[in-house]
Amino acid sequence: MINRKRVFWATTALCTGLMAAGAASAQSTGTEAFEASTVEDVVVQGRRGPLTIDGGIVAENASKSRASITEEYIQTQPAGQSILNSINLVPGVNFTNNDAYGSSGGDLTIRGFDGARVSLTADGIPLNDTGNYAIYSNQQLDPELIERATVNLGTTDVDSPTASATGGTVNYNTRRTREDFALIAQPSIGEEDYRRLFLLMDTGAFGPWGTEAWVAYSSTQYDHFKDPGGINKTQYNGRLYQALGDNGDFISLTGHYNRNRNSFTRRVTLAQFDAGTAFDTVNSLASSYTSINPSNTGNIRGASRFTLSDSLTLTVDPSFQYVLANGGGTGNWNETDAQLRGNSAAAGVDLNGDGDILDTVTLYRPNTTNTHRYGLTSSLVWRPNDTNTVRLAYTYDYGRHRQTGEVGYIEASGRPENPFAGRNGTQINLPDGTILRRRDRLSYAELNQIAVEYRGSFADDALSVSLGVRAPFFSRELNNYCYQRDTFNAYCTTQTPAVVNPDGTVQFPSSALNSSANNRYRPPVSFDKKYDAVLPNAGATWRFADNQSFYVSYAEGFSAPRTDDLYDRVDVNPEPEKTNSYDLGYRYQSSGLIASFALWHTDYSNRILRTFDEAANLFLTRNIGEVTLRGFDGQIGFSPFENFSLYGSVTYTDSEVQNDLPNGVVLGVPVFLPTAGNQLVETPEWQYAMRADWKLGDWDLGIQGKHVGERFSNDINTEVAPDYTTWDLDVRYTFTAIGAPNWWMQVNVTNLFDEEYLADISTSTSGSAQYQLGAPRTAMFTLRTAF
């Protein structure tokens, strides 16, 4: 058993093979093989791998700003917690959780960039939504199965499979298989009727080739701290590994399936929070039944490495992903509504079965997304000698993104008949032969990306140089089968339009009486969009003294418009967002002290927002100018004596919007909102984090805190979410005294001092925002048994 309360060299063997220092921080097998070929092993007291202090800080060697945590730290956090919450102490990162346990969702920002502009990967496969690039923190891998999570601050890896990352990357690596049979049972209980069971079985080596595997299961249920409803989550995972010889070659297959059913909680305003009435604003029980977020997600991740010669290595990582999810919601329909009648002669539709068509009926009308996604990340790594390495990488990512809004029924209890409404449940058939639906779209997203990277060591390894270029070629095929007012409002009907306007938009009989542009719709349409970029990056590290180094890096980022940016009634064509990022950093690494500090600057251009267009009378997507971001971040881990360590991080972010925000036209004169010189929303200037670890015999004690400064919640910077500080406590007792060193019990208390604060922000252009309340003090207990 690894003692987690001391400085150690983390074992990050790829199953049975030992990898080089820093290699496990890689997001894909190709990056892992490339970094392993360019870094010498660190071997101390029989251990090989990256130097770390209690898993909360890792000695990095890449010529870029990077930070990692390992399983030693992850296991101190609440059982079942989202991995994105576990990286919250990392400099540059801010994650706001929607509850104490991590299965209700949350919001991630890195150096001022929101989660949709950050690439999230698991073992190198992309997890951002193919349409809007959103990150779903409550659908991530069980934390007990994660060996390591790594954050690239403001940059990507050369083979990052993304067309959306302008703000950096987050990657986590799945637990490796083991040579020996083992069984872990881990039940947890906590406040809000929290109940969780996690089970894991390692098969050990079996069969004639020494094949290894593990399977895992978890089940989680709890209530919301604020509103009725709660969480019901089940997850299945497994991994199969086969070594190919004894040189590190292998093939591996990992499977993941997550079924999540959770109710949304009502957001509050700043005024309600200041008045102390935020907890008085609650959903009704019936509302919680339909304000739900059901999701069925899964993936299969392949990985392989083949040594072709002494100097040439091939890696191939294929994948498949499946997503079925929606965000709930209801709508009211009059039984004689023209949308229901369509082009038929029917007088109406009896929606509630009472024998007449005189009623207005509430129906369940979620927007459901179903995605089938296929991917491949591959690299050919050539090492002609000990000081030079080159790789050629190819990435393919193809997603079929089906967005539908089949309306369904609500039972007498207030619950939807089916969480996916008419898609999986009873459909509402209309007299014209169609079904009642909210939207009907089909898009295909395809990424082809090539990349080349070179790394060389010079001057007896005192100088390392990295040069690379990533070239994504991204396309979207978009098909909208309904009439469209704006990206969020589709009108699906077979009605014949009453008016065809000169701009090609149409109006229906019910809206033709009103000439307002709000009543105009774009007819069904199909179109293609293509985007490409050439994104160079470069870095250098100078090891000028024992344990000390400077590094400098430059990288360009790219984010293509999202699906929702393109479905408006007006044909918009925003340019991709781009970033140029510069970092200058210093590192100190020894057995008792690991520290890194960086000054950084990012030029962010073609920022995409939805702004008001007076002529169209719509909020449309457009490029609104540039943002300059600069700052300082650093972290330090210190172990002054055995069994005790301290960790701290600091982040300063200065964001400045360069342009005023267009806001329509008045009397022929363009109107702008005063945003030039303002800070980005949801971006605190200052963040601080700390953690202390003690080991006292069989007892382990950890306490950690995070301070988040004030955050503006609208673009004109007139509303500010107050700063806050939260503290968490973890206490573990290991049963070494009774001869069971792999058994332990652990108590976690989040928000120890019961701080009242505002977490996630639903930002606004110029008005009041909506906020998610931070969870109050919450305690939980976990027992881990191992056989």
Residues 200, 178: Cα–Cα separation, whole Å: 12
Within 8 A by CB and 6+ apart from 519, the residues are 507, 508, 511, 512
The pairing of strands 525-532 and 463-480 is antiparallel
- Mean pLDDT within 595-600: 98
Structure tokens at 581: 């990022």
**Residue with more model confidence, 19 or 55:** 55
pLDDT interval class at 664 (50, 70, 90): confident
pLDDT tens digits, one per residue of 53-112: 999 999 999 999 999 999 999 999 999 999 999 999 999 999 999 999 999 999 999 999
* 338: in domain: no
- Mean pLDDT within 640-653: 96
Q: How many other CB atoms are found less than 10 A from the CB of residue 778?
A: 22
Residue span of the structural domain in which 420 resides: 7-329+365-482+524-786
* 655: in domain: yes
The pairing of strands 168-174 and 146-153 is antiparallel
User: Which of 20-34, 373-387, 424-438, 492-506 is least confident?
Assistant: 20-34
How many domains does the structure of the chain reveal? 1
What CATH number corresponds to the domain at position 551? 2.40.170.20
pLDDT interval class at 279 (50, 70, 90): confident
pLDDT tens digits, one per residue of 188-235: 999 999 999 999 999 999 999 999 999 999 999 999 998 888 999 999
Whether 486 shows a pLDDT value over 90: the answer reads no
* 518: in domain: no
pLDDT tens digits, one per residue of 504-522: 899 887 765 555 666 789 9
* 414: in domain: yes
Q: Which pLDDT score, from 0 to 100, does residue 157 have?
A: 83
Angstrom CA distances, 210 to 17, 177, 181, 317, stand at: 13, 12, 12, 22
Q: Which pLDDT score, from 0 to 100, does residue 156 have?
A: 85
* 732: in domain: yes
State which H helix or E strand residue 31 sits in: helix 29-36
Residues 218, 200: Cα–Cα separation, whole Å: 9
pLDDT interval class at 14 (50, 70, 90): very low
**Best CA proximity match to 7, nearest among 70, 63, 62:** 70
Q: Which pLDDT score, from 0 to 100, does residue 667 have?
A: 75
Label residue 279 exposed, middle or buried (CB < 10 Å: 0-12, 13-18, 19+).
middle
Residues 339, 111: Cα–Cα separation, whole Å: 46
State which H helix or E strand residue 700 sits in: strand 699-708
Long-range CB pairs of 519-524 (<8 Å, 24+ gap) are 520/485, 520/569, 521/483, 521/484, 521/485, 521/491, 521/497, 521/569, 522/480, 522/483, 522/484, 522/485, 522/568, 522/569, 522/570, 523/483, 523/497, 524/480, 524/481, 524/482, 524/483
Within 8 A by CB and 6+ apart from 347, the residues are 336, 341, 357
Residues 517, 621: Cα–Cα separation, whole Å: 17
Angstrom CA distances, 447 to 162, 271, 397, 559, stand at: 8, 45, 5, 12
**Best CA proximity match to 580, nearest among 551, 550, 606:** 606
Whether 5 shows a pLDDT value over 70: the answer reads no
Residues 410, 428: Cα–Cα separation, whole Å: 12
Percentage of the chain modeled with pLDDT above 70: 93
Total residue length of the chain:
787
- Mean pLDDT within 485-494: 88
Percentage of the chain modeled with pLDDT above 90: 79
**Best CA proximity match to 254, nearest among 152, 172, 183:** 172
Does the predicted model carry a pTM greater than 0.85? yes
**Residue with more model confidence, 724 or 508:** 724
pLDDT tens digits, one per residue of 347-401: 999 999 999 999 999 999 999 999 999 999 999 999 999 999 999 999 999 999 9
* 118: in domain: yes
Whether 612 shows a pLDDT value over 80: the answer reads no
* 353: in domain: no
Whether 26 shows a pLDDT value over 90: the answer reads no
Residues 135, 150: Cα–Cα separation, whole Å: 16
pLDDT interval class at 614 (50, 70, 90): low
* 502: in domain: no
Whether 459 shows a pLDDT value over 60: the answer reads yes
CA dihedral 392, 393, 394, 395 (to 10 degrees): -170
Q: Which pLDDT score, from 0 to 100, does residue 20 have?
A: 32
CA count, 13 A, side-chain hemisphere, 595: 13
Whether 47 shows a pLDDT value over 70: the answer reads no
- Mean pLDDT within 574-580: 94
pLDDT interval class at 573 (50, 70, 90): confident
CB of 724 closer than 8 Å to CB of 702: no
Q: Which pLDDT score, from 0 to 100, does residue 6 have?
A: 37
Residues 22, 38: Cα–Cα separation, whole Å: 10
- Mean pLDDT within 764-770: 90
* 3-state class (DSSP) for residue 763: coil
User: Which of 367-381, 664-678, 719-733 is least confident?
Assistant: 664-678
DSSP E strand stretches across 281-387: 295-307, 312-326, 330-334, 360-364, 368-385
pLDDT interval class at 18 (50, 70, 90): very low
Structure tokens at 181: 């049979």
CA dihedral 343, 348, 353, 356 (to 10 degrees): -160
User: Which of 22-36, 125-139, 497-511, 520-534 is least confident?
Assistant: 22-36
**Residue with more model confidence, 411 or 667:** 411
pLDDT tens digits, one per residue of 111-164: 999 999 999 999 999 999 999 999 999 999 999 999 999 999 988 888 888 888
- Mean pLDDT within 658-669: 82
